[in-house]
Each structure stands twice: as C-alpha cells, then as structure tokens.
Structure 1
Amino acid sequence: MHRGKGMKFVGDSRVSADRKASQIPKDYSEYPGRTEAFWPNFLLKEWLAGAVFLIGFLCLTLAHPSPLEGMADPTNASYIPLPDWYFLFLYELLKYEFASGDYILIGILGIPGLAFGALLLAPFLDKGPGRRPHQRPIAVIMMLLALTSVIWLTWTSAEHVDWEARAEMNKPIPPSNIEINKDDPGYAVYEANCMGCHGDALQGVSAPPLIGTEHTAEEIAKIAREGINTMPANIFKGTDEELDQLVKFIMSVNEQAE
C-alpha cells in the first residue's frame, strides 16, 4: 500500500472541532507550591490529622471515662433522664420559655430545623472561590454562630449536673449471691411494706439498698416508723410484732452479705 492510500478520516460528534480554552484542563505545574497530588500527599495529610484527633480523643476518654449508670427501671419514678452529652444543647434549649410549653414545637422542630437547614444551605449561599476565612464571610459567620450556640448551651446544661453523684446514685447493681429466705415471716412483711422501693433482693430501686446498711436494729425500726431523708413517716403499716420480724429479716440478710 502506498502512503496516503486507504486512509479515512472519521468524525465524532462528541468532540468539538473548535476546542475553547476553558475546556482545556489547567496545567497546575505552572503554580508550584499552590497545589499537590491527591495521592499520596493530600490524603496522607488527612490521615495524619485524623489520627492525631482520634488518639487525643481516646486519651481523653481514658483519663476522664464517662460514668455509667444502671439499667433503665420503669418503676423508678424519681429518676430524671438526661440525654447524652452531644444532645445536651437541645435539652437546654427546651428550658427557655420561647421553646417550651405552648411553644414546644418551636423548640423541637422550628429552631433546630432552621439552624441545620442554614448549615446545609451555607455552601450555596457563599460561592466564593477563596479558601481563607475572610473570603467566605457568610459561611464563616454561620459556622461560628452555630458552634458558639452549641458549646454555650451544652456547657450551661452540664454545669448544673453533678455527674459523679448522679452516676453513684444510679450505678449498675452487681448481681447478688445472697439467698433470700422467702419462708422467713419477715419476708412477707418486707414484701408488703418495702419491696416497692427497695427491690425484691434489698438491692434498692427508687430508694437506697438495704444490703450493706450500717444502721442498727433499733435504727431500722425507728426509720420504718418515722422515716428518714426523702422517706416519709408512717410508710410501715404493720404491728410491733411484724416490725420486729422485718428488722430481724433485714439484719439476717446483711449478716449474709458480710
């Protein structure tokens, strides 16, 4: 075959005959120091930043572990539930008059919906090409406002809670190896007067546990009649004989615990 013979030109409608300058990718090698390769340079920096944050967060959790409470008890009417720390700002918001009571829908839907909706719209409201904060005023102001509000509301809510005392009061109850003698006449008295608050194994429910108590028999009898702290008087409705049986039952259980 001679040169020039048998050759054909094929047109492709997907490729424009006149390519404009805007369609040609820029050669970033002309801007040294202002750009870098995604792999591995940029991605490695992102991984390093994430690793530093993760290690710092893990060290914080080891140094200040979150106190754990016991299992939820639907019979405990004195328990005040609190959300986890990352929802405390919404919990605090519902304490204000304009976001509670008759305006509760504003607090649970209106204000949070506007706030998160504004953050979603921030990239569309501020389309500036710059990456410096002063070149993106709308996005920066919205983010600072949201961050300040969340931190302030969370701090305000958390500073009024004694977390250690709360965890101690609601700490998980370990399984007890103590055998409760249900044939003991004092158990029937306990079941009728005390079980609702102190639990079926004296472990405590809405009232303190009776296992490990430091009260004497006389003090237990007096408390049953006259009450103590948040326990009102006249809770015990039995006779003196039944009271004596109750005290002996509680003391016998505590002897096993020792």
Structure 2
Amino acid sequence: MAHGHKSDEKIVYVGDSRVIKKTEEQRLIPRDYSAYPGKSEAFIPNFLLKEWMVGVVVLVGMLVLVMSDPAPLGYPADPKNTAFIPMPDWYFLFMYQLLKYPYTSGSYVVLGAVVVPGLLFGGLLLAPFLDTGKERRFYRRPIASSLMILSLVACTYLTYTSWSHYQVELKEKNIIPEHIKREEELQANKGKAASGAAKTTTKKAAAIVAADDPGAKVFAKATCLACHGAQLKGMPASGVPALLGVGDTHTKDDILGIIKNGKGNMPAMYKPNIDKGLTDADIDQLADWLSKQKTQ
C-alpha cells in the first residue's frame, strides 16, 4: 500500500505486491523519515551537515574568545625561583591533585601516572563495545550511570581541592601569581606612559654609549643579554627594564651590587656569569660600561 494518503499517488501492482511508481522528480526528493519510529533522518548529508555547522559555530566562538582575551605571558623562566608554585591548566587539576596523594606518588607514581589514567581512558574507549544495550534512559542502566556519576564527582572534588590548596599556598607564602603581577605592572606602566607622554616627546632618545668599550664585549657574553637585549632596550611589557640611561640613576657600585645580590624580580646573576666563563675583572668591566650608559 502507499506510504501516504495523497489522491494523486500512482500505485502499480506487481504480482501480490503494491509498489509506488515514482516520477524522476520524486526520486530526487530526499526520503521523509518522519513516519518512522524515532523520527530520524538520513545520516548523510542531513545529520552530518547539521553536526558540521554546530562544530563551526563552536570553533568560531572559541576563536573569538582567544582573540579577545589572549593568554597572559609570565616572566622569563627562572629555575632558581624556589617560591614559584607550578600549576597545570584547569582541565588537568584533578590529575595534579591525584598525584599528590601517597598511594599515587613516590613509590606508587607509576600507579598514579600510568595505571589509573590508563584504566579511566581505556574504559572510556571500550564503553561503546562493552555497553551494547539498547536502553538509553540512565536510570535503566545502573552500572554505566553509576560509573559516570562517580567519575564526575571524583573529577569535581579533585579539581576543587587542588585549586583550594593552591590558594592556601599563595596566602601562606604571600605570593602574587605572575599573571596578576604582570597585569598590574602593565597597567602601572600604561599610567606612567600616559602621564609622562609630554616629557618623552621632548626628551632626547637614549643611545648606547661607548659601543667599542671592552665592557660591551663582556656584555655580549654575559647572561644580561638574554633579557635586556643587544640594544639594551629590555622587555618593559614583561617587567625587564631597559639599560639605556641606567648610568643616570645607578653608579658602578650600584650595578655591581645588583649583579651580586639581585633586585626586585631579578635574582643574583654573579654566579651564573662566573659559571659562564666570566671573571671578576670581566664583571667589573661590565659594571663600569653600564654605568657609562647615560642619556646626557
């Protein structure tokens, strides 16, 4: 019999069967699946096209967020900074917290780093093959639903606990996270730049003094070059000051003191320079040359 109740449908009888004879135009029209149980549709191209469009919208949304609020950059890595507290991205906080427990760290680190994640992700990959029941209501699937709820609760608890411990550590050690400190410095620098715009326009541009001095050759070998740059311009956006004109505010002794004892976010750089092959005489020449960097 015919699928519909249209009066213009033409039925051709072939033996005992009744087959609807379709015209060429009718064959090009996609089949209407709404009369079938579940009101499904053709996977290709209908369902696939809709899923692709949803994926495009989500991807565009992520790109807009990334461009509107880029990830902040921290200070140059300092392996000697023992106060720094490393933290993974938020979606790995649960694993980070799991590895803090005694039964998943130390002698059991393989259990926490390989076995537990392997079981979790392996179970997720095998779920479609192990759970082949046709029932889709979660309360009719107690085992699968219980495991999923348990996983969600565990991940939520471990993530919250990890972040809470991190906040407590920051308060105990009186540490301001680098991205917050960097943002505050950027805002402060913007304020200074706006208030001193008139002065900077009339002030003579600083240039390297005594470029052929022996101290300049020492500077090219020293660790200072990595952060302050060959042109002594530094990285103000990252909190690294320029050395152009440093002689206006610092004497040779002041600069030697900073090299040996550090200042602000800059650690002591005397020993790293000695380890790099410089001598005390070289460092003395370096400090003397830097003290000559004046704007006047």
Normalised TM-score (structure 1):
0.56
Query: Is 2:137 aligned against 1:106?
Result: no
- Name the counterpart of 1:77: 79
Query: Is 2:186 aligned against 1:186?
Result: no
- Give, in whole Å, the separation in 2 of the partners of 1:163 and 1:228: 17
- Give, in whole Å, the separation in 2 of the partners of 1:213 and 1:182: 12
CA shift, 1:54, in A, is 1.8
Deviation by residue 1:71-112 (Cα, 9 ceiling, x = unmatched): 9x8xx5337776666555434432322221111111111111
- Name the counterpart of 2:24: none
Number of equivalenced pairs: 210
- Give, in whole Å, the separation in 2 of the partners of 1:119 and 1:132: 19
- Name the counterpart of 2:250: 217
Residues 248 and 140 of structure 1: CA distance in aligned 2, closer, same or farther (over 3 Å):
same
- One-letter code of the match for 1:57? M
**Secondary structure at 1:35 match in 2:** coil
User: RCO higher in 1 or 2 (8 Å CA, sep ≥ 6)?
Assistant: 1
CA shift, 1:246, in A, is 3.2
Unaligned runs of 5+ in 1: 1-27, 169-177
- Give, in whole Å, the separation in 2 of the partners of 1:201 and 1:116: 42
Residues 62 and 233 of structure 1: CA distance in aligned 2, closer, same or farther (over 3 Å):
closer
Q: In 2, are the aligned partners of 1:125 and 1:138 still within 8 Å (CA)?
A: no
Deviation by residue 1:185-235 (Cα, 9 ceiling, x = unmatched): 33466578xx24x3367448xxx8563488622342443455435745986
**Secondary structure at 2:133 match in 1:** coil
CA shift, 1:29, in A, is 6.9
Match of 2:290 among 230, 250, 255: 250
Residues 145 and 242 of structure 1: CA distance in aligned 2, closer, same or farther (over 3 Å):
closer
Match of 2:58 among 45, 53, 56: 53
Q: In 2, are the aligned partners of 1:67 and 1:163 still within 8 Å (CA)?
A: no
Seq. identity, %? 39
Q: In 1, are the aligned partners of 2:245 and 2:293 still within 8 Å (CA)?
A: no
Match of 2:263 among 225, 228, 240: 228
- One-letter code of the match for 1:211? A
Give runs of aligned pairs for residues 88-237 of structure 1, distance below 5 A.
Answer: 88-150=93-155, 153=158, 160=166, 162=177, 164=179, 183-187=212-216, 195-196=222-223, 198-199=224-225, 202-203=228-229, 209=240, 211-212=242-243, 216-218=249-251, 219-224=254-259, 226-229=261-264, 231=267
CA shift, 1:113, in A, is 1.2
Residues 61 and 141 of structure 1: CA distance in aligned 2, closer, same or farther (over 3 Å):
farther
- Give, in whole Å, the separation in 1 of the partners of 2:149 and 2:242: 52
CA shift, 1:56, in A, is 2.4
- Name the counterpart of 1:22: none
Q: In 1, are the aligned partners of 2:216 and 2:286 still within 8 Å (CA)?
A: yes
- Give, in whole Å, the separation in 1 of the partners of 2:219 and 2:148: 59
Q: In 1, are the aligned partners of 2:261 and 2:268 still within 8 Å (CA)?
A: yes
Normalised TM-score (structure 2):
0.51
- One-letter code of the match for 1:223? I
- Give, in whole Å, the separation in 1 of the partners of 2:54 and 2:60: 10
Q: In 2, are the aligned partners of 1:217 and 1:247 still within 8 Å (CA)?
A: no
Q: In 1, are the aligned partners of 2:262 and 2:268 still within 8 Å (CA)?
A: yes
CA shift, 1:118, in A, is 1.9
Unaligned runs of 5+ in 2: 1-32, 168-176, 184-206
Q: In 2, are the aligned partners of 1:217 and 1:248 still within 8 Å (CA)?
A: no
CA shift, 1:65, in A, is 1.9
- Give, in whole Å, the separation in 2 of the partners of 1:142 and 1:214: 65
